[in-house]
Amino acid sequence: MSNRLRTLTYNIHKCRGLDGRVQPTRIVEVLREIDADVIALQEVLSIQGSPEEHQAQFIAGELGFHDCFGENRRHNGGGYGNLLLSRFRLLAIDNHDITTPWRERRGCLRADIELETTLHVFNLHLGTSFFERRQQARKLISPQILHNPELHGVRVVLGDFNEWTRGLASRLLSRNFQRDSVGGSRTFPTLLPLLRLDQMYFDPALEMERLAVHRSRTSLVASDHLPLVADFNLSTSAATAKYQHSRPANASADTGAILIGTT
């Protein structure tokens, strides 16, 4: 198996493009252009009906990937949440509840992927409120989610962080992980990207070789976000190493007591 790994995070906006049309086929076309191994999608709507209305099943079926869907709430009679797709076999799945009181239900979908070592992928979509994201950040770095002592593989955290300034989520994750490039990866809005809402964080065992915002004729209209793509090299030592993730680094500096997330 190659040590190269291409990952992608993409808020697909319920497959509704800038022209107002809901077309999952355009999202599939964008994903085929990129040809990633691990794909994290947010704002996926899956309604029982025609094949294309069940966006999670449709996209996974078109690509022929292993998949898991983390439903966080109901919307228009269907499931709404995060979708994770993998070229490689999924070993375990967990959808962590990171909802804060009086706000929209949010989740962090974790999938363990079988490589030479286990890859723990966390696909999330944080809230739009500043104080909401602060609470969600504390939940994320708790021993129940990112620092779960039962996780011994390499971690990647990616998704739509909804942080257009350097907020608490960005600061805490930067202390505990490597992060993608600070500049040059603006993904929102599509036609004139000004905000860096979509981000990636990862363990040092993963060496990022390339980071790019994917721009094509189709991606410019398929959603209101552009896809963020990273090419990683999984070091040889990581293939046999086991990691302990039970103690977050410098968590108390900004957060005080860590809040415990629910699963």
Per-residue pLDDT tens over the stretch 155-183: 999 999 998 777 788 889 999 999 887 66
Name the helix (H) or strand (E) containing 60. helix 55-63
Length of the chain: 263
CATH fold of 4-250 reads Deoxyribonuclease I; Chain A (3.60.10)
3-state SS assignment for residue 156? strand
Higher pLDDT pick, 240 / 185:
185
User: What is the average pLDDT score of the chain?
Assistant: 87
Q: What pLDDT is attached to residue 102?
A: 86
Beta strands in the chain (DSSP E): 4-11, 38-46, 66-75, 78-86, 90-97, 107-114, 118-125, 154-160, 178-179, 198-202, 206-213, 228-234
Q: How far apart are CA 11 and CA 226, in angstroms?
A: 8
Q: What pLDDT is attached to residue 236?
A: 56
User: CB neighbours (10 Å) of residue 235?
Assistant: 15
Q: Could you please report the per-residue DSSP string of 4-37?
A: EEEEEEEE-GGGB-TTS-B-HHHHHHHHHHHT-S
Q: What pLDDT is attached to residue 73?
A: 84
Q: How far apart are CA 87 and CA 107, in angstroms?
A: 23
Per-residue pLDDT tens over the stretch 99-154: 998 898 999 999 999 998 899 999 999 999 888 999 999 999 999 999 999 999 99
Q: What pLDDT is attached to residue 228?
A: 97
Q: Which residues pair with 160 in a beta bridge?
A: 125, 198
Q: What pLDDT is attached to residue 165?
A: 76
- Preceding amide of 51 cis, omega within 30: no
Predicted TM-score (pTM) above 0.85: yes
Q: What pLDDT is attached to residue 251?
A: 47
Confidence of residue 1 (pLDDT cuts 50, 70, 90): low
Q: What pLDDT is attached to residue 257?
A: 26
Q: Of 201, 216, 125, 135, which Cα lies nearest the Cα of 170?
A: 201
Q: How far is CA 27 from CA 6, 42, 115, 249, in A?
A: 17, 12, 26, 37
Q: Which amino acid is at 229?
A: V
Q: Of 202, 210, 225, which Cα lies nearest the Cα of 12?
A: 225
